[in-house]
Structure 1
Amino acid sequence: MPTDLPDEWFRPSRPEGDGAGELDRLADQARSDSEEGPDHRPFSPSSSSTADGSQEATDPGARTLDPESTGRLSLGGLDDEGPSVVVGHAPRRGSHSRGHGRRGPRWPLLILGLTLALVLGLILGSLARKARSSESHISPVGNSIMAPQTTEAQPWRGSTRIVSGVSAEASCVTAPALDEMGRQVRYPAANAVDGNRSTAWRCDGEAIGQRVTLEVPSGTRLVGVGIINGYAKNSGGTDLYHEYRRVLKVRWTLPGGSWFTQDLTDGNEGVQGLKISPHVVRGPVVMTILASSSPGMPGEGTRDAILVSEIQLYTSS
């Protein structure tokens, strides 16, 4: 039985004689083919290798034998070890390397892409953190109040006296009202600097952020401030201080931008004073309300208001 071989291999008919006779016949055929030329060569099994090479160049489906897989065909008998000849054909130059390139791994490109993405992410994250840390967040007190620079010098330790000739204006003033006797009562800011405890400056509501501007004689050496933080008035035997709101904290702003805060005690109906380091002022002094209490009579709408009976500025004596 003939041995089955791939189509690309040279497969001659089984020799009838010995192996040497077949070799002579093949050699004669090769000389005859070379003399006639490629165009007049008759088809023979020995030319199958060349035909397959032409088909490979034109037919995309043609297969190319790898040199390592090229077979060897014995020209002797089935049981004899006769000479052998390599059959098949060489692939096109460079085809093996191109095929290997297409089948090669792509891990280096994938790793490079992941590394670049990681580096880019770290850079963007660092820039975002720097942008967030460079932002300025101001938490205003009250109604969008922004504070300037504070003073830090030692407070005045000597004797004091009240500054005279101070005038006042306010950012909020309640309209006149009638008292229990039917008399009209007015509440301008001037009431807070008139030296009379029974008169007061009034502003309805909690008054957070409202200001009283005090004009002081130019060149005054200011060493302290004082305030009565509610309505220190008795009317018909009734103490009105606890019926309205009381001021709990204020900020004092001096000409030039220096400032300091003063905490006030709820329930203290006297003048609550604070000494500061000496400042020569040439301009207005501004008092701003930062905090206030709840109304003493929640059910009474007319009691939902801030009243300040007195504001005092002190100079050295």
Structure 2
Amino acid sequence: SGPPDPPAGHRAPGTSRPAWLPWAVGAAALVLVAGLGVVLLVTGGGDDEEPSARDTASSSPDPTPTSEAPTPAPTPTPTPTVEPEPTRPAEPEDVATRASAKVPATAPPNTDVEGNLVRFEARNMLDGVPTTCWRMPGDGTGRTITITLDAPTTLTRVGMVNGYAKSSQSGRRTLNWYQGNRRVLVAEWTFDDGTTVEQSFGESRELQTIDVDAVTTSTVTLRLVDVSSPGDGRARRDYTAISDLSLVGTPAS
């Protein structure tokens, strides 16, 4: 009989490996690697891989379209502020023409040398016309005249034409009614607050005035303190006359 078989797993000494064995092992390894590559290609890789740029672009939401900024409304040109002009104080004025007067008596009307009817009413003292007058019969010494203003007024000056400032031509003669009638020589002006101002008058047909401390009043009481005697000649008349009164001030606003 021949020699015994070697134990399992042991080659008998002197026995060599077949020449095709290494090639078979290499071919098997290549097949294994190729199979693994196919698997990775199909599954897309593991969770740890970074997404590709294509995937990132496709998965990002569409950007919000940028809206155009609204056109700003034009800024209105500011209206320049006009500073109000300072209120100027009212200029003093003669308020006698808007006043009324209460007198102690009035002489009856008469006709002048030309035959015209002439009246001697109280309003003649307040018309600003020196050739008209108020007059009363006889001596007016001690009598009072009350003047009512049309509004409270701050007076600063008062005065009068203290006789009948008129002349008439009769033939070749001039009749001087200022000298012929009685004239006021001294008068007192009294105002609502009791202030009293005394005024003396000269022999003049012109308006004679006196300044007073500013006093606000609605009435003026004029007292005839002293009156002259009537004149002489054809122009002589026993009447007390006043041609005009003047009351200068600023009406209260």
Shorter-chain TM range is: 0.5 to 0.7
Asked if the contact 1:169/1:190 (under 8 Å) is kept, the reply is no
Kindly state the Cα deviation for residue 203 of structure 1 after the two structures are TM-superposed: 1.0
Match of 1:62 in 2: none
Please, which of 202, 207, 227 is the counterpart of residue 271 of structure 1? 207
Q: Deviations over 1:9-37 (max 9, x none)?
A: xxxxxxxxxxxxxxxxxxxxxxxxxxxxx
Alignment pair present for 1:161 and 2:93: yes
Name the residue aligned to 1:214. Answer: 147
Deviation at 1:198, TM superposition (A): 0.9
| Larger radius of gyration between Structure 1 and Structure 2 | 2
Equivalent residue, structure 1, for 2:184: 247
Secondary structure of the 1:216 match is strand
Letter in 2 for 1:273: T
**Superposed displacement of residue 285, structure 1:** 0.7
Unaligned residue ranges in structure 2 (runs of 5+): 1-90
Deviation at 1:219, TM superposition (A): 2.3
For 1:178 and 1:274, locate their aligned partners in 2 and report how far apart those are by CA, in whole Å: 34
Residues 220-246 of structure 1: CA distance to partner in whole angstroms, max 9, x if unpaired?
Answer: 111110100111112124332111111
3-state SS in 1 of match to 2:150: coil
Note the alpha carbon deviations across 1:81-137, whole angstroms, 9 max, x for none. xxxxxxxxxxxxxxxxxxxxxxxxxxxxxxxxxxxxxxxxxxxxxxxxxxxxxxxxx
Q: Which protein has the bigger strand share?
A: 2
Q: Spell out the pairing of 1:48-197 with structure 2 (5 A cutoff).
A: 160-163=92-95, 164-197=97-130
Partner of 1:3: none
Q: Structure 2-normalised TM-score? A: 0.57
Aligned residue pairs: how many?
A: 156
Q: Name structure 1 gaps, 5 residues minimum.
A: 1-158
Alpha-carbon separation, structure 2, partners of 1:222 and 1:244: 30
| Counterpart residue type for residue 94 of structure 2 | I
Distance 2:118 2:143 in 1: 21
Q: Which has the higher contact order (CA 8 A, sep 6+)?
A: 2
How far is the alpha carbon of 1:206 from its aligned partner? 1.6
How large is the Cα RMSD of the aligned pairs? Answer: 2.0
Q: 1:200 to 1:223 in 2, by over 3 A?
A: same
Tell me what 2:219 maps to: 284
Does 2:240 correspond to 1:303? Answer: no
Matching residue of 1:204: 137
Identity of aligned residues (%): 31
Instruction: Specify the code of the residue in structure 2 equivalent to 1:161.
Output: E
Given that 1:172 and 1:211 are in contact with CA atoms closer than 8 Å, whether structure 2 keeps it comes out as no
User: Equivalent residue of 2:151, what SS?
Assistant: coil
Residue of structure 1 in register with 2:88 after alignment: none
